[in-house]
Structure 1
Amino acid sequence: MFKKVSLLNFLVICLMSLAFGQQAKKSASGGLMGHRFLTFNTIIRVNQIEVSRDRSVGEDERALHTPEKVIAFRKAVEEGFPGAKMTWAFSWLALNDSTENYKEIRKLVVGYHREYGDEITFIPGAYFANAYNTTEQVNKDLHDGLALVSRMVGNSYRPLSIVAGFLSAKNQQYLAEKENIHVCQGNIWSQFAIDNQDGDGSVSYPFYPSKEHFCKPAQGKSDFIDVVNLDGWTVDFLAARRQGFAEGFNSRMGVGPIETLGKHGNEIGLKEMLHATAIHFDKGFELNGFGWVTNCWELSLPYDAARLKDWLSSVKKRWPDTKVITQGEFGLLWRSHYKSNDFNYRFVEKGSGIGGSDANLEISWFMNKDFRLALLRDWKLNSPKLVVDFTRYDLNAREPIGMTRKWSLMGDINQKQTRPQDKPVPLNKLPEKSNLIIKKRYPNLLKGL
């Protein structure tokens, strides 16, 4: 039997329900803003670069992938940041390898999905699918690879995202329209003249890509792809402005272990990893209303899992409110908040003095749907700011035809300085039309120059 409820109590209940509903709506719409996010993934493969289902480039890595290493790796994540979720990406061969080690690895990772809520997904081509395969073949690999993941996990499981390194606009469009997947780690910000594919020219935080080019933010409904395009791993902006290994530095230095721990040792390496993290969790958080750091730590890398624990526990201690969630969950949070490319990202970094992160330099980045702009100055000498990158997104773009490593979107001035036109210039020396475009977004930027 139901107890009688007075009119007053009924009204109180109604008001409480309404307030709860409004709060829930507010929380859902504001799930991105006001928070710091860390997304962490690892790659499990058989060969270093599986360029196709039956052809590989590089070393056979079977001996580097063992159940014991997987157990130590996941233990380090949990001990470093209790409750953290992560994303596991399997290559084609890793999903199909019939040796006992890989059978046990797949079983372990499925167990982590059930225990921790980890995401399990597919990586086509081990980072560089479009450099070695046609668009059609990549689509087929995505379809079949996702089916294998679903079969491995069971219970009608479907990942929320794909890990790809780079992925062309046409393939990302296929993911959205045919596979109903709306998050893709589909660009590696600033990568140029390093590894097996170039892809400089994009925005470093999430964006919806254009049908014209995966590095270009969609300009409107006609070229919109409903996929949240994510960066591969967070890098130091000052190091990243260099070409490959120019001047003896590594342009990929940031939170990744190869360029930090491997190059500079555990103590200094960790210091740089935290410096790169702080760019986004301190000043970046203040400027953008949320902070995001992402890292890929391949299982095959020769670094003790304790070093992973060190970084995660240091992040936990310094920024205890950080949410370590899966790549797919973060992408969908962003998608829930941003219905279009109406973002306006800003970043400011003073160098750490480690590697290519010059201690005397300060770089400021401005990134929106229309363009990306980078200004560089020597803050110790109080020198004028110079434009080291200006890439317009309102212009037509085109991805390469055929299989090639060259997938960059090079603007009027590119940070890598590989062309004569890339020589840094004062902001007020840009063409008048460029300054009008910048002034429309940032009216105070040109004042006082």
Structure 2
Amino acid sequence: MKIKSLFQLSSLFLLLFFNAQAQQKKPKETSKLMGNRFLTLNAVIRVNQIEVSRNRNVGEDERALHTPERVKAFRNAVTEGFPGGKMTWALSWLALQDTTAAYQEIRKIVIGYHHQYGDEITFIPGAYFANAYNTTEQVNKDIHDALSIISKMVGNGYRPKSIVAGFLSSENQQYLAEKEGIHVCQGIIWSQFSIDNQDGDGSVCYPFYPSKEHFCKPAQNAADFVDCVNLDGWSVDFLAGRRAGFAEGFNSRMGVGPIETIGKYGKEIGLKEMIHTTAIHFDKGYELNGFGWVTNCWEVSLPMDVASLKDWLTQVRARWPDTRLITQGEFGLRWRAHYKMNTFNYRFVERGSGIGGSDADKEISWYMNKDFRLALLKNPGKDTSAKVIDFTNYTIPAKEPAEMTRKWSLLGEINQKQTRPQDKPIPIDSLSAASQVLISKDYPQLLSSPKKK
């Protein structure tokens, strides 16, 4: 009897030992921001191509492109490309309302993914461009009613941690935080200008708390503070993004998005550009900022083979095995837990890929904090002097449009899109004296002797 007990104890000890060893080999799951690489993936399900309001559509009816089989194929690509990953599903107003058998089944499938994988289910108001077609009051009402529908649809007290909006005004983000209790919003599309149905250039490309004055401007102090983490919608190639729309025959939105990469250049070259853009953030960006973040939005209706999505995720996981694919709500809340105010200081450096507008002979450096954003462009090997192509001062007053319009950009002293006479690249010491003093506070090395006021 004693021998049997000793044997049992020895077996139990060995079992506990090997379990502990196995746990040590697994990456530790934490809620920290720093020291991690994050990937967020949003999928949009809609009925019409651009549902600008509850009762008005612009574009094509996409019912035939949204099938249960297509949704399943999309999620399978994510599951196979990134096992254990979580994603965010954003449903439009009509996608929440449509009574056809296909959409009823799609909603059931997505709810199943929430329970199976931990996916987030949320709302996209106005198909990316809510404020271009609706009053702030109507957008608030749409958000409130849609969130109520989603909570009832999913059940068990479910409440999303974020919404997907493309662009969303500061006033609407304040409502989202204070009245709906949601503190994460995909509310900017970084560098977008002269493309699609709304402009919104002028912001920081990584998370920030928006100012009450303008959704592209980081909050300057407690009185100006909106407690909603404002997120970009697509990570873009910085060199491509400095152009306006399709200037010079290139697409300014090229980066990790499938339309501008796989759709334009085919799978091989398209994936090469997607990985290049990912590397901007997961290599040098990670080193400079202490964490890396890449985000993508993939509309379920897109004609691209979802096998390309699987291949991108597979390559990301192989090259950066510590990457975490989490919902955008979870990522935003990690950032919010780390940054209580806009004390960030982001830096990015990119040499072009040679694909599309990502010029192989150029290098761009970005500096972004709550006071300003600054971009320097140079031709390594040819001209060592970098020139300013963007300087946006956030310390001066800003104002959002009072009317419904596509023009929601925040253009500074010089803007990367070069759409105004003042936007020609200049040496940094040609900026205004006040701008040089502001820059020198954070980056004195960029100015040998900043001009005094």
TM-score range, shorter chain: over 0.9
Distance in 2 between the 1:305 and 1:190 partners?
26
Residue 399 of structure 1 corresponds to 400
Deviations 1:230-267 (A, max 9, x none): 00010000000000000000000000000000111100
Change (3 A) 1:30 1:56: closer
The answer to whether the 8 A contact 1:345-1:367 is kept is: yes
For 1:340, the equivalent position in structure 2 comes to: 341
CA distance in 2 between counterparts of 1:263 and 1:78 reads 26
* Structure 1 partner of 2:409: 408
| Cα offset, 1:387, TM superposition | 0.1
5 Å-filtered alignment, 1:128-277, equals: 128-277=129-278
Which residue does 1:64 correspond to in 2?
Answer: 65
Give how far 1:147 is off: 0.6
Q: In the TM superposition, what are the counterparts of 1:246-325 in structure 2 within 5 Å?
A: 246-325=247-326
Q: Secondary structure at the match of 1:385?
A: strand
Counterparts of 2:434 and 2:31, CA distance in 1: 36
Task: State the identity %.
Answer: 74
* Residues in 1 aligned to 2:68 and 2:421: alpha-carbon distance in whole angstroms: 51
Q: Is the 8 A contact 1:29 1:336 kept in 2?
A: no
Q: Residue in 1 aligned with 2:94? A: 93
Secondary structure at the residue paired with 1:444?
helix
- How far does residue 221 in structure 1 lie from its aligned partner after superposition? 0.6
**Distance in 2 (alpha carbons) for counterparts of 1:237 and 1:248:** 16
TM-score by length of 1: 0.93
- What is the match of residue 53 of structure 2? 52
Distance in 2 (CA, whole Å) between partners of 1:100 and 1:234 is 35
Does residue 419 of structure 1 match 2:412? no
1:446 CA drift (Å): 1.4
Structure 1 residue 29: Cα displacement: 9.5
Mapped contact 1:189–1:202 kept (Cα < 8 A): yes
User: Which whole-Å CA distance do the structure 2 matches of 1:364 and 1:382 have between them?
Assistant: 15
Deviation string, structure 1 residues 166-217 (Cα, Å, up to 9, x no partner): 0000000000110000000000000000000000000000000000000000
The separation in 2 between residues aligned to 1:410 and 1:430, in whole angstroms, is 15
Counterpart CA distance in 1 for 2:228 and 2:188 is 12
2:130 is the counterpart of 1:116: no
Q: Give the partner amino acid of 1:228.
A: V
Q: Partner letter of residue 95 of structure 1?
A: L
CA deviation vs aligned residue, 1:91-146 (integer Å, no higher than 9, x gap) = 00000000000000000000000000000000001100000000000000000010
Encode CA deviations 1:283-310: one digit per residue, 9 max, x unaligned: 0000000000000000000011111000
- Give 1:448 shift: 8.8
Unaligned ranges ≥5, structure 1? 1-26
Instruction: After superposition, give the CA deviation of every residue in 1:14-46 in whole Å (9 maximum; x if it has no partner).
Output: xxxxxxxxxxxxx99970000000000110000
Structure 1: which amino acid aligns with 2:98?
D
Instruction: Could you tell me which runs of 5 or more consecutive residues in structure 2 were left unpaired when the two chains were aligned.
Output: 1-27
1:432 aligned residue: 433
What secondary structure sits across from 1:384 in the alignment? strand
Distance 1:155 1:93 in 2: 23
C-alpha change, 1:124 and 1:211, in structure 2 (3 Å) is: same
- AA of the residue aligned to 1:342: T
Residue aligning to 2:380: 379
Q: Could you tell me the TM-score, scaled by structure 2's length? A: 0.92
Separation in 2, partners of 1:329, 1:411: 32
Supply the distance in 2 between the matched residues of 1:247 and 1:382 (Cα, whole angstroms). Answer: 22
Q: Is the 8 A contact 1:373 1:387 kept in 2?
A: yes
Please state whether the residue corresponding to 1:402 is helix, strand or coil: coil
Q: CA RMSD in A?
A: 1.2
Indicate the residue corresponding to 1:38 in structure 2.
39
Q: Indicate yes or no: 2:379 matched with 1:369.
A: no
Following the alignment from structure 1 to structure 2, what is the Cα–Cα distance between the partners of residues 28 and 177? Answer: 30
Secondary structure of 1:55's aligned partner: coil
Q: Sort the Cα spacing of 1:220 and 1:448 in 2 relative to 1 into closer, same or farther, 3 A.
A: closer
Structure 1 contact 30–337 (Cα < 8 Å) conserved: no
In structure 2, what is the equivalent of residue 14 of structure 1? none
Q: Distance in 2 between matches of 1:295 and 1:107?
A: 24
2: distance between equivalents of 1:301 and 1:152?
26
Q: Distance in 2 between matches of 1:58 and 1:284?
A: 38
Q: How much does 1:224 deviate?
A: 0.2
Contact 1:80 1:313 in 2 (8 A): yes
For the residues of structure 2 that align with 1:335 and 1:263, how far apart are their CA atoms? 36
